[in-house]
């Protein structure tokens, strides 16, 4: 097969860079409430040459010869190719989600508002009714489309030369099998701790033991507002600024970081980061509301922002914008989880009972990591050479085993991350746990107040995503990336 010559690969890099910049800019404008329409199609059309089957095959051949950088471009091309084939269905799903409504107790409610309503509903019977309404709308209107997306993905994968989606991602260098083994171990090792911690949390927040908990009680569990007053909206930005200042970073003085705090009617209520140019123009968009979730979201997005803003401009596009996403998610988690840290809460917020909050937050983290571990193991099966029909029951079985709460089979395709992104989150949690231990050993439990710690972070951020999370960690700490570290970190806080 013909290989793309070096000059061709160079041109591909430049075009890919412009393509991603255009997508991120459109994303920013729409979700910041500056542009009503969300017009991705013209951008995809303009750059359609980058994601043809022919382009993917040429990139595959280059990847064999040139190694990791070209392999990242190959993955980018393939994800675009699969995306093109499934986009119409995905847009239809989004349209239906925005327009479908259910009538519960004589009240009409939009599909996307059902989940938040469940969280805010104190009455269990009504929570159950709302859940049933969501399940039947999903079954009736959305699932046939999810099935078509899954089938299109399977056949596109074969055209790209791999027997399964799972096999394709292993060729991209994803350590799927090793991570699968770590997930199995993590689920077994944390089961007792999970049952004890979640039982206590359910009793305290929802007034029922874990054994009686149903899936419609989960959003309620996480909506508990007893900590809201400790996390006021007006203190979010000052706390972020002083945290970064402690690390030697002056947020207001970063010319390439654009803080969008203006309030607009259609602006996303949730913080997000849009790295339009890396490192030249990184948007951090917020509309501060307050409460722990909102604080977590802001600090998470600030982690992405600082990572991209410090990435070296000299790196090629595959190291600035592509590469191992466990790296940028790991930096995001490092800042996000500061919000649960008693040493941080005492310094940056006037906070009562920080240890109690930290213990509850760790129980919540354990729920999410177990959920992701089970979901990832399920995805490994789903994306292997299995029949789609058998997977609905598998999904329910896997999730129930991990969570001890019955989930609905209706979500067996909706609850799946494209491109094994779940593996990036899991590895990011492990990265955060090990890096935090290192920072605490090196700089003390208040490491976030030390400029030397900030200098180290800046050095590591500059590397972008050229090294994998495993390589970065080994470079700094000598440790191996292991999910077991997350169990240790959570266990310490829950017991404290």
Bond preceding residue 279 cis, omega within 30 of 0: yes
Q: 131 or 301: whose CB is closer to Zn ion?
A: 301
Q: 332 or 377: whose CB is closer to Zn ion?
A: 332
Contact, 292 vs 227, CB < 8 A?
A: yes
Of all residues in the shown chain, the one whose CB is closest to Zn ion is 332
Strands 257-260 and 281-285: parallel
d(CA 449, CA 157): 48
Structure tokens at 71: 């392999």
Q: 51 or 424: whose CB is closer to Zn ion?
A: 424
We find the least distance from the C-beta atom of residue 428 to Zn ion, in angstroms, to be: 8
Q: 109 or 273: whose CB is closer to Zn ion?
A: 273
Q: 21 or 332: whose CB is closer to Zn ion?
A: 332
We find the least distance from the C-beta atom of residue 361 to Zn ion, in angstroms, to be: 18
We find the least distance from the C-beta atom of residue 411 to Zn ion, in angstroms, to be: 21
We find the least distance from the C-beta atom of residue 64 to Zn ion, in angstroms, to be: 31
We find the least distance from the C-beta atom of residue 430 to Zn ion, in angstroms, to be: 15
We find the least distance from the C-beta atom of residue 333 to Zn ion, in angstroms, to be: 8
Q: 332 or 426: whose CB is closer to Zn ion?
A: 332
We find the least distance from the C-beta atom of residue 242 to Zn ion, in angstroms, to be: 22
Q: 100 or 481: whose CB is closer to Zn ion?
A: 481
Tell me, rounded to whole angstroms, the distance of Cα 68 from its chain centroid. Answer: 23
Show the CA angle centred on residue 85, arms to residues 381 and 15, nearest 5°.
Answer: 110
We find the least distance from the C-beta atom of residue 332 to Zn ion, in angstroms, to be: 4
d(CA 271, CA 258): 13
Interface residues with Zn ion (CB under 5 A) are 329, 332
We find the least distance from the C-beta atom of residue 452 to Zn ion, in angstroms, to be: 26
d(CA 307, CA 479): 21
We find the least distance from the C-beta atom of residue 372 to Zn ion, in angstroms, to be: 13
Q: 332 or 490: whose CB is closer to Zn ion?
A: 332
Structure tokens at 493: 């806080």
348: Cβ–Cβ under 8 A, 6 or more apart, which residues?
Answer: 239, 242, 243
Strands 257-260 and 272-277: unpaired
Q: 74 or 299: whose CB is closer to Zn ion?
A: 299
Q: 109 or 469: whose CB is closer to Zn ion?
A: 469
């Amino acid at each position: 097969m013909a290989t793309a010559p070096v000059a061709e690969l160079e041109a591909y890099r430049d075009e890919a860079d412009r393509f991603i910049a255009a997508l991120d800019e459109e994303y920013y404008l729409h979700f910041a409430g500056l542009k009503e329409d969300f017009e991705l199609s013209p951008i995809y059309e303009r750059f359609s040459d980058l994601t043809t089957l022919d382009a993917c095959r040429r990139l595959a051949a280059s990847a064999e010869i040139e190694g990791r950088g070209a392999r990242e471009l190959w993955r980018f091309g393939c994800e675009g190719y699969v995306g093109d084939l499934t986009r119409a269905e995905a847009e239809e799903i989004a349209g239906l989600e925005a327009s479908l409504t259910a009538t519960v107790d004589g009240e009409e409610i939009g599909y996307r508002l059902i989940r938040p309503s469940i969280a805010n509903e104190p009455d269990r019977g009504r929570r159950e009714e709302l859940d049933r309404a969501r399940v039947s709308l999903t079954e009736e209107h959305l699932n046939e489309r999810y099935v078509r997306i899954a089938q299109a993905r399977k056949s596109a994968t074969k055209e790209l030369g791999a027997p399964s989606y799972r096999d394709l991602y292993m060729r991209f260098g994803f350590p799927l099998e090793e991570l699968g083994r770590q997930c199995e171990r993590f689920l077994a090792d944390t089961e007792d701790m999970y049952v004890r911690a979640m039982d206590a949390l359910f009793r305290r927040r929802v007034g029922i033991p874990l054994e009686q908990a149903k899936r419609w009680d989960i959003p309620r569990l996480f909506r508990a507002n007893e900590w809201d007053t400790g996390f006021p909206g007006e203190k979010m930005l000052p706390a972020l600024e002083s945290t970064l200042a402690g690390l030697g970073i002056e947020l207001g003085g970063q010319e390439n970081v654009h803080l969008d705090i203006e309030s607009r009617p259609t602006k996303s209520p949730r913080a997000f980061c849009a790295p339009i140019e890396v490192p030249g123009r990184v948007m951090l968009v917020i509309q501060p509301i307050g409460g722990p979730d909102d604080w977590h979201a802001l600090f998470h997005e600030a982690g992405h922002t600082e990572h991209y803003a410090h990435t070296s401009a000299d790196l090629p596009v595959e190291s600035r914008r592509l590469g191992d996403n466990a790296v940028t998610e790991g930096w995001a988690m490092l800042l996000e989880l500061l919000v649960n840290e008693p040493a941080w809460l005492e310094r940056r917020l006037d906070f009562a009972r920080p240890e109690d909050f930290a213990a509850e937050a760790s129980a919540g983290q354990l729920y999410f990591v177990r959920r992701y571990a089970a979901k990832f193991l399920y995805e490994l099966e789903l994306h292997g050479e299995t029949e789609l029909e058998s997977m609905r029951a598998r999904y329910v079985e896997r999730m129930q085993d991990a969570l001890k709460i019955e989930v609905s089979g209706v979500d067996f395709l909706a609850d799946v991350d494209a491109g094994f992104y779940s593996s990036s989150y899991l590895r990011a949690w492990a990265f955060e746990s090990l890096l935090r231990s290192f920072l605490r050993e090196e700089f003390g439990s208040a490491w976030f107040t030390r400029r030397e710690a900030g200098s180290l972070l800046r050095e590591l951020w500059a590397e972008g995503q050229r090294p994998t999370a495993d390589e970065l960690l080994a470079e700094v700490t000598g440790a191996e990336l292991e999910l077991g570290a997350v169990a240790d970190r959570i266990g310490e806080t829950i017991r404290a």
